[in-house]
Every structure is written in C-alpha cells, then in structure tokens.
Amino acid sequence: MMDSSGRLIFGPINLTNNPSWGNYYDHNRIFFGSPSIAATEDNRFMITWEKQTEVDNVEDIYYMIYNSNGSIIKPITNLTNGPINENYYHTLSTALTDNRFIVSYNKLHNGHWLSTNDNYTVLDSDGNTIVPEATLNGRIEDIVQLSGGNIFYAQSYSNGINYVILDDETYSPVFISNTITHPSYNGFLNSISVTRDSSDNGILTWRDEKGQYEYYALVSGSDGALLSGPYISHFFDSIPDSLMFSCEQSVTTNSWQPAPGTDLFSEFSADLYGAEPGGAAILHLSYGNQALTTATNPQLTLTLPDGLSYAGDTSGIVPIISGNTVTWNLPNLEFADVGDFTVYVSVPAEDPIGTIYEISQSLTFAGEDIDPSNDSENVEVMVATMTYLPLINR
C-alpha cells in the first residue's frame, strides 16, 4: 500500500504463503497466475488470482479484500471452488459504484477448450456476494463501468470483436453487438482493452495477431450504437516491427474537447531536406482537420522556387501544375481525418554543393479556419553529398 505521494505505508506481504511447490517429475506442482486488483470508493482493495494444483487438475480463483491501512477485510477465500477437471481462469476484478466489485472469469468444463463460457460474480466491499455466479456467452477480455453507470465489456471471436452492455442494477444485457472487424484484419486478435470517457461512451482498442495494426472503436453506453470506427489508430509498414501493449484497461482517456468550427493543419516532416545535384529531394507532407466542422473542397498547394521542379508524388491524386505551384484537390476533411504523402522535387545537376532553396506549402478550403497559424509552412532543400547509412535496430 502507498499513499497519494507514493510513500510506502504497508507491505509488501506474501498473499498466498504457499509452503510447497511440488515438482515436475511427480506432477504435483502448484501454479499461481493472473493477479488482478480493483479499489472501491470506500478505499477497499480486492485482489484476485488463480491457483492451479497439477495433481488433481483443479484451477480455482481466490480473492482477498484489504482496507487502505493494510488490515484484512476478507481473508483468502475460494471464489469458485470447482470440482476436479473444472477449471477457472483469466480472472479480472473491476470496481463498480456503490462499493461493489464485479469479478469476471472463464470456466472450462472437463478440460475441453470448446466447452467454455464466461462467468461473473458481484460482491460488496466486505466480500459478501451480491450476485452469485452468472453465465454469459463468449469470453470477457476486459470490462469497465461507464460514466453513465452501465457495464461495458468486450469479447474476442475468431473473426472479430463483440461488445456487450449490461444494466448496472439487473446485470442483464442492454445491448449485444454483432461482430465488428476491419478490412485489414487477418488472423487472431490480441490485447483487447476497454475504457470510458466522460460522456457515457465506451472505447475499444485491440491489435491483430502479427502486431501490425492497432484498432480503435467508440461505442455509445446508452444504446450500444457504434459511434466511430473500427479505425486503424497505429500501424507499422513492415511485419518485422510490431505493436506490443498490454490488455485489461491499457488505454485511458483525457479531457481534450475538439473545438467547434474547422481547424486544418499541414506540415512537413522535417525543417531541412537534402538532394544530390541532379537528384531529387524527398519531402513528406501531412495534413488533417482537428475541429468538429468538415472542411469542404480543401486544396494543398506546394510552391517551388525557380530552379526546382515537381517530379511526382504518392498521393494518388493528379495535381494541377501551374508555373511554380503544384496543387492537390483533396477530399473533404471531417473531424480527425488525416492524410500524408511523399513529394519528389528535382534539383538541377549544375547546382554547387551547399545551394539552398526554400519551398512553401499551404492548405486552404471553402471556409474560414479558426486557427490559420498551422495551415502553412516553409522548408529548405539543400544540395548536398548524400551519405546513406545502414539502419540499425536495437
């Protein structure tokens, strides 16, 4: 236990105090796993974990409840106490309002992975049972209480994500979603996590099996409507790199509120680019809309100085070239829409090393921007001898 300043006020202590661990050859080992902790409004802490005894193939869930000063409210208690060959695993404890805990877990019948279902139990902060073991279809990956009171949890299936909203008083489903997925999905899903915002919405994040994509979705906590997504929120271009992050509420929220109106931005990825004489500078441009009103008919314009010439780009849009300007007619930009592409600019072969050119870009649309300060930018291109080093990943 630590106080709000991080000072240790109690512990650490051994929760399980297991005196014997068995050994591999006698098949009598003891395993502990999947610890989880949650705190109620009255400063009670529930800790849950799994204990497996190999000799009789029993796997059960245990819990304790502590006060904020380290005193025991509920001693070690077997929550499930299942028979031989009935295993309980993947425990997750979550605090609810009115000083309650909901403990979710999976139940495996007769050692058969296909004979599983999801279960949950609700207890008060004294450790008394409010709702005895109840069964839900599917496997709960993560669970949270929304700001409006309903309980929101996510499930994984072979072809995507399901989410369920439970009533806070009856614990019966208010909404059960269809499977949601993304066109880029391939393989199993991992690291499924849920959290909430202050507007009674649920937030889902997860990643694909290879760790190439992280997905995001926003869900209404009142009726289960899918408000946004699934979108790819982060990605790697190549498979050797991968996204790795925890599940079980690994995401959180902040208090940022997007502004009304339209607020575009456009920027280069660097302040200075290089190119060999007779070669091409490789410029990377990004743009987007970070306010609530859609930007209609946006245009991104690149202005080149005398001597430099446009050599191509990766936008997929055929630009309009007029003199020293290159203009891309972009699609309408809604709130949180972003895009980026690469532009190739040719440098004269006769330019001496050290020659510097200045390029400008600007983003406009059929309307008024609430903050035009980030709608344009200048960048320099230097004629230089380019040295290419091998990439070293650490």
210 within domain boundaries: yes
Residues 141 and 49 grouped into a single domain: yes
Q: What is the pLDDT of residue 247?
A: 52
Q: What is the pLDDT of residue 114?
A: 45
Mean pLDDT of 40-58: 89
Residues 56 and 133 grouped into a single domain: yes
Q: What is the pLDDT of residue 9?
A: 83
49-58, 116-125, 181-190, 275-284 — which is least confidently predicted? 181-190
Average pLDDT for the chain: 86
Q: What is the pLDDT of residue 281?
A: 95
The CA-to-CA distance between both ends of the chain, in Å, stands at 36
Residues 193 and 297 grouped into a single domain: no
Q: What is the pLDDT of residue 249?
A: 47
10 within domain boundaries: no
Query: In terms of residue numbers, what domain contains 287?
Result: 264-383
Can you say how many angstroms the Cα of residue 105 is from the centroid of all Cα atoms in its chain? Answer: 22
Global pTM exceeds 0.75:
no
94 within domain boundaries: yes
221 within domain boundaries: yes
Number of H helices, E strands in the chain: 0, 26
Residues 318 and 178 grouped into a single domain: no
Beta strand 272-275 pairing with 376-383: parallel
Mean pLDDT of 41-67: 90
Residues 86 and 210 grouped into a single domain: yes
Q: What is the pLDDT of residue 384?
A: 92
Mean pLDDT of 40-63: 90
1 within domain boundaries: no
Q: In angstroms, what CA-CA distances link 315 with 176, 184, 284, 303, 375?
A: 40, 20, 11, 17, 19
Residues 192 and 51 grouped into a single domain: yes
394 within domain boundaries: no
pLDDT in tens, 305-338: 999 999 999 999 999 999 999 999 999 999 888 8
- Give residue 376's pLDDT band: very low, low, confident or very high (50, 70, 90): very high
Contacts (Cβ under 8 Å, ≥6 apart) of 225: 219
Residues 315 and 215 grouped into a single domain: no
Q: Is residue 241 over pLDDT 70? A: no
128-142, 144-158, 324-338 — which is least confidently predicted? 128-142
109 within domain boundaries: yes
Mean pLDDT of 275-288: 94
Residues 214 and 293 grouped into a single domain: no
Task: Report the CATH number that the domain containing residue 333 is assigned in CATH.
Answer: 2.60.40.1510
Q: Is residue 175 over pLDDT 50? A: yes
Closest CA to 271 of 341, 358, 342: 358
Task: Report the CATH number that the domain containing residue 184 is assigned in CATH.
Answer: 2.120.10.10
Q: Is residue 15 over pLDDT 80? A: yes
Residues 56 and 204 grouped into a single domain: yes
Count of all residues that appear for the chain in the document: 394
Closest CA to 311 of 343, 342, 352, 268: 343
320 within domain boundaries: yes
Assess contact for 85 and 110: CB atoms under 8 A: yes
Residues 68 and 211 grouped into a single domain: yes
Q: Is residue 273 over pLDDT 90? A: yes
Residues 318 and 226 grouped into a single domain: no
Domain boundary among 214, 235, 256: 235
Q: What is the pLDDT of residue 87?
A: 81
For the chain, how many structural domains are there in total? 2
Closest CA to 165 of 222, 104, 110: 222
Mean pLDDT of 73-81: 91
Residues 200 and 325 grouped into a single domain: no
233 residue type, one letter = S
